[in-house]
Chain A
Amino acid sequence: MSLDLTVDGDRWREHLRAVADRTPGLVPVVKGNGYGFGLGRLARRAQWLADHRSDAPGSEKTADTLAVGTYEELPEVASRFDGSLLVLTPWRPFGAALEVDPAIASRVVHTVSRPEDLAALLERQPDARYVLELVTSMLRHGMTGRQLRELGGLTSRGTLEGVALHLPLAQGSHLAQVQRLATDMVSAGLPSRTLWVSHLTSDELDRLRSSYGDFEIRPRIGTDLWLGARDALRVTSTVLDVHPVERGDVFGYRSRTAPKAGHLLVVSGGTAHGIGLEAPTGDQSLKARAATLARGGLDAVGFVRSPFSIDGKQRLFAEPPHMQASMLFLPAGARVPEVGDRIDVRVRYTATWFDRVEVV
């Protein structure tokens, strides 16, 4: 009795190949919950992409490197993907970064975002492979152009694999910013001309490749790769129980009363899966914020909309979801599904844990 992700395998793989083919040098990103698929599955799929590289120019390195979010995620992917492993969280002289399994140390590419960290990393691991992260308008992690220039001879030690940029989600064109950062890179005289970038449209990537034909561009892609073909993905919950109710009937943990006649449905999928929890959508509109508020303030008055839908119609939560299951209210007159029926659920993949992922 589970929350399931069903993947149309042919359609999904076709999409993955298409993205890889039009993105030479692609670095697949798997991190967090593995975009709903799980880290291990995506690592194997990245290996498959590497094994099926196209012979288009520049594609030799496509998927030769996999990016993970944290050092803790390395063991999950290391045995399923045999190329290089880029860790996106910057290296720090403490924590999990210092506990990398020696067996995979030579495959790991560290992200270094502070001058003092580069010195410390090279002291610990003289042959370390690393990318230098430059600070972007995001102001998350990264060095300034001046800090990069002042690294001096340090960058000739270990193996500098390039410069990494973590760009904000598109707000207008990123190219002016990328050009400035590439200039910072040239100004530092680094022994590498590889630029690791994220969140560029394919048009921006094309223009970047044309202006920087002497650079190697490595686009890091997660969402658009794994989740880009939404029609290949279907998320379903199972109907576990159905109870007819009359107006005024008492039900649920909090002994609410039914506002009118209908059915209560107990369906799989609860807070343990991420159902009913709100991840910020990034949509800043007033309407979206009001919707978030409404869903968060579930208990206040009446019922609120759930992500579950039956016959194409989104249904209301009868009460806040539980760990494994949710309770829905189905007003009188609607078709009542049978126990065991599957119903559709709309989820944010990056914030959902599925019980089963089935590729068919």
Chain B
Amino acid sequence: MSHPSSAPVAVPVTPLAVRVVSAEEHLDFLRSRSSASFLQTPAWGAVKSEWRHESLGWFAPAADGGTGEQMVGAALVLYRQLPKVKRYLAYLPEGPVIDWGDQDLARWLTPLTAHLKRSGAFGVRMGPPVVTRRWSAASVKEGIADAAVRRLDDLVPLERSQEGARVVSQLHELGWVPQAVEGGFAAGQPQYNFHLPLVADGRPRTEEEVLKGMNQLWRRNIKKADKAGVEVVRGTAADLEAFHALYAHTAERDHFTPRPLSYFRTMVEALSAEEPDRIVLHLARHEGDLVAATISIRVGTHVWYSYGASSTEKRDVRGSNAIQWAMIRDALAAGAEVYDMRGITDTLDSEDPHVGLIQFKVGTGGEAVEYAGEWDLPINKAIYKAFDLYMKRRG
């Protein structure tokens, strides 16, 4: 056209290469970033020992124009074998760790899928760690109170992320298929999470500010626990057994299937080997009785509340609130920017049994966050289809 100034400018695209890297290279790259999901650390590959795993790196020509190259992205890939066949679903939980703000995601994803195809993958599943929408605690609370609002989707979000939308649009264009949140692969990561931001306007929040943001019930319960003499301490590997006993008790009470003690031993060993305080066990005691126990994980500026357990006795001393508050203070002290309370369902229906969990998390005054969710790219369409059918039948 006769208007060159407004024609889209073709940005020179640097070709990226993907290849297997060592766990050390992988970890070094993650340390150079502000944060990454703990499910993308090399240590997590060791935790998921039932799957073959590998660390991948993305490489671009060195910025100085020399002959060298630099690592610009990383991924932990879990290869999950299809029953009876030597073909794999390549799974990148909450990853890969790449520049998701890139306008041209194909230059990252095309060499990735080429590598995975060579490694015997019939399909790829990944969960771009990209936020698409956020809702404030106040609006979630109003939503629960409003009978006309049934899901987060019915609420006007605080923010609709342009970067998140750009990722979703590009994935559609590149042939990736969004996976439904409910059901599906057992290890599917939650699309909706609850975050307590630990920074505001670019500076860290103080403990007082965080407390002030909580609702009255939370503040009262934290105070109550303190008055009752609940003590929260950091545990060691030796306390894992006590944690697990309480966790198994919680599982029975709340009707979920507990993981075995060995799983937690492996997790603590593998993650601790990577960074000294990557994984922390917290124990809340009242007059010597264990009333709550949790596991938190930190990668850079992101802290996750990962597992929790609480006693049925002595609920009135509010061990759960006390132990959360201790974890939040630890996160603040470590310079974290987000305290991540992990998954919530998107229901805001006050009749739904899941709403209690959301209400507990909303009390911290944080925000509900929607991620781009998990996406599949079928490589071998026939096998992928068979796998999809198998997963659906399995329910």
Contact = CB atoms under 8 A, between A and B. Distances in A.
Interface of A: 115-116, 118-120, 122-123, 144-147, 149-154, 180, 183-189, 210-211, 213-214
The 4 A-B pairs of least Cβ separation, nearest first, read A186-B165, A213-B156, A187-B165, A150-B8
A183 to B, nearest CB: 5
A258 B2 CA distance: 67
Contacts of B165: 183-187
Given A120-B3, A149-B103, A184-B165, A115 B8 contact: yes
A45 B155 CA distance: 36
A189 B8 contact: no
Given A149-B166, A187-B168, A187-B169, A123 B156 contact: no
A151 B103 CA distance: 13
B7 interface: yes
Interface residues of B, number: 22
Interface of B: 1-3, 6-8, 103, 153-157, 160-162, 165-166, 168-170, 172-173
A348 to B, nearest CB: 38
Given A149-B166, A154-B6, A186-B165, 17 more contacts: A115-B7, A115-B8, A116-B3, A119-B3, A120-B1, A120-B3, A123-B3, A146-B170, A149-B169, A180-B172, A185-B165, A186-B162, A187-B162, A187-B166, A188-B162, A211-B154, A213-B155
A186 B168 CA distance: 10
Nearest to A154: B6
B160 A186 contact: yes
Contacts of B8: 115, 147, 150-152
Contacts of A118: 6
B169 A145 contact: yes
B160 A214 contact: yes
Most chain A C-beta atoms within 10 Å of own C-beta, residue among B8, B103, B155: B8
20 contacts: A116-B3, A118-B6, A119-B7, A123-B3, A145-B169, A145-B172, A145-B173, A149-B166, A150-B8, A153-B6, A180-B169, A183-B168, A183-B169, A183-B172, A186-B160, A186-B161, A210-B153, A213-B155, A213-B156, A214-B156
A214 B162 contact: no
A13 to B, nearest CB: 31
Nearest to B148: A210
A184 B168 CA distance: 8
A189 B162 contact: yes
A184 B166 CA distance: 7
Nearest to A210: B154
B266 to A, nearest CB: 39
Contacts of A183: 165, 168-169, 172
Contacts of A147: 8
A184 B172 CA distance: 10
A115 B6 CA distance: 9
A146 B172 CA distance: 11
Contacts of A213: 154-156
B3 to A, nearest CB: 4
A260 to B, nearest CB: 63
Contacts of B6: 118-119, 122, 153-154
A151 to B, nearest CB: 7
Nearest to A180: B172
A116 B168 contact: no
A298 B11 CA distance: 62
A153 B3 CA distance: 14
Contacts of A186: 160-162, 165
Nearest to B10: A150
A185 B2 CA distance: 26
Most chain A C-beta atoms within 10 Å of own C-beta, residue among B6, B166, B170, B172: B6
Nearest to A145: B169
B166 to A, nearest CB: 4
Contacts of A180: 169, 172
Contacts of B168: 183, 187
B144 to A, nearest CB: 16
B173 A146 contact: yes
Contacts of A189: 162
Contacts of B173: 144-146
Contacts of A116: 1, 3, 7
A119 B3 CA distance: 7
Contacts of B2: 120, 123
A61 B161 CA distance: 27
A147 B7 CA distance: 11
Contacts of B156: 213-214
A228 B154 CA distance: 30
Contacts of B155: 213
A93 to B, nearest CB: 9
A189 B166 CA distance: 9
B143 to A, nearest CB: 11
Contacts of B1: 116, 119-120
A140 B1 CA distance: 22
Given A115-B8, A213-B156, A214-B160, A184 B169 contact: yes
Contacts of B157: 214
Contacts of A152: 8
Contacts of B160: 186, 214
Nearest to B158: A214
Contacts of A144: 173
B7 to A, nearest CB: 7
Nearest to B103: A149
A185 B160 CA distance: 11
Contacts of B3: 116, 119-120, 123
A184 B173 CA distance: 10
Nearest to A122: B6
Most chain B C-beta atoms within 10 Å of own C-beta, residue among A118, A145, A187, A213: A187
A115 B160 CA distance: 25
A151 B156 CA distance: 27
Nearest to A184: B169
Nearest to B160: A186
Contacts of B103: 149
A186 B157 CA distance: 13
B378 to A, nearest CB: 19
Contacts of B162: 186-189
A192 to B, nearest CB: 13
A180 B7 CA distance: 25
